[in-house]
Structure 1
């Protein structure tokens, strides 16, 4: 079974389109038009075109593209703010808000025509956002699934709580987890494909595959193709094998 996957996007429409172009090149080379494309979340924040990214993904899926877009922690924070500007994601540090430039909610709202969101009262910004963010975008973002299973692959945004069945995982962990997950080397039964933790390049760890190549910090939006538990990074020169950097613990 073949699947394509795309890492964290963070409001970079041009980089996302490059990733999809690489997937289409691979489809042409290997003759497969049916394999799904799974985006592991964080479509919004930090980059300049979050509105354009959401519009692009939403319209392509409406047109029948076999794409899956998962819910990232940044996407969840966006939805929470749109529901209540004084509410906060329970996993977010208490000294931060989604509008803080460090998180990039201000940039997301700027892409919808709501400027300087981090410099103005949250209730005023929220009122403007309700007028400027299309309801279709709000509904689509809020309805994103928090995981997707395909063959031997489990796609999530951040990771999983080791030793907990997928049916008992919490969305807090699926969207936010790092501690207890990144250092775990056990076999999870399926290859877990995720993003969330920014690294220099896509890395295969044997039991998991991290796709977050730091698009939110100047890196690319990466695309991979996965067959069984084998994975390749897609490049202008074709497939580049992703060899696991560590052996799974027995």
Structure 2
């Protein structure tokens, strides 16, 4: 029931290729055949969201099986493509997906959409509808909100403590922070997530956060999860990630 896991990607295709190369090297060294789980936020902020989606679509032929979880940024992108007036209820009402803090314009630029500051949203949307391939929209539509094994669950943001997995709200799985990040109770299984950017991955005993800030120019993180045991992958091999420690990246 082991899994490789990769934190938030945010359009960083070179970083994604780098950590997949580490996974390939780890497999070659150890004979490991665990699937790879991507924890969401494929898009926004980085320069190559379109290329990231194309890369992940090819998973079964490039090193599968691969599992890709839906992140809140992926959902906001998909909402925009259907209707630019639609809003994810988890988003601060002061912002839209096109705000510079969210990075939606970077995603549109990766598809060749012209994003000058004075361009009407309706024009951005129309060009995006023409340039984002239908296959990418279908791929995003079919991303699961979680993936679980007997001893771990993989989600984008986290879970609502005390709520069974079957009853978790999609909004929480993609957005939760309050009431989750400061919860120290045992959830019965290890929760592996991203969404809240750190300087380096961290293991809290009941959860592991693998968002190491690739959306802000920091290296993408990858790990091997075996029950509650976690090893970060590096160029030189595996490094244990122990509860209560934040190793240097």
Q: How many residues align?
A: 245
CA deviation map 1:107-140 (0-9, x unaligned): 0000000021654221111100010000000110
In the alignment, structure 1 residue 37 sits paired with structure 2 residue 41: no
| SS class of match (1:239) | strand
Quote how far apart the aligned CAs of 1:64 are.
7.5
| SS class of match (1:141) | helix
Distance 2:58 2:117 in 1: 29
Runs ≥4 in structure 1, deviation > 4 angstroms?
A: none
| SS class of match (2:154) | strand
* Other-structure match for 1:230: 229
Distance 2:173 2:61 in 1: 26
Distance 2:117 2:180 in 1: 32
**CA shift in 2, pair 1:133/1:164, >3 Å:** same
Q: Is the 8 A contact 1:156 1:192 kept in 2?
A: yes
**Coordinate RMSD, CA, aligned:** 1.3
| SS class of match (1:233) | strand
Q: Is the 8 A contact 1:6 1:224 kept in 2?
A: yes
Quote how far apart the aligned CAs of 1:106 are.
0.2
Structure 1 unaligned blocks of 5 or more: none
Give the TM-score taking structure 1 as reference length.
0.95
Give the TM-score taking structure 2 as reference length.
0.95
In the alignment, structure 1 residue 159 sits paired with structure 2 residue 135: no
Distance 1:128 1:114 in 2: 6
Q: Is the 8 A contact 1:159 1:174 kept in 2?
A: yes
| SS class of match (2:58) | helix
| SS class of match (2:77) | helix
| SS class of match (1:89) | coil
Distance 1:36 1:63 in 2: 12
- 1:15-30 to structure 2, matched below 5 A, reads 15-30=15-30
- 1:166-245 to structure 2, matched below 5 A, reads 166-245=165-244
* Other-structure match for 1:149: 148
Distance 2:150 2:192 in 1: 12
Distance 1:134 1:43 in 2: 16
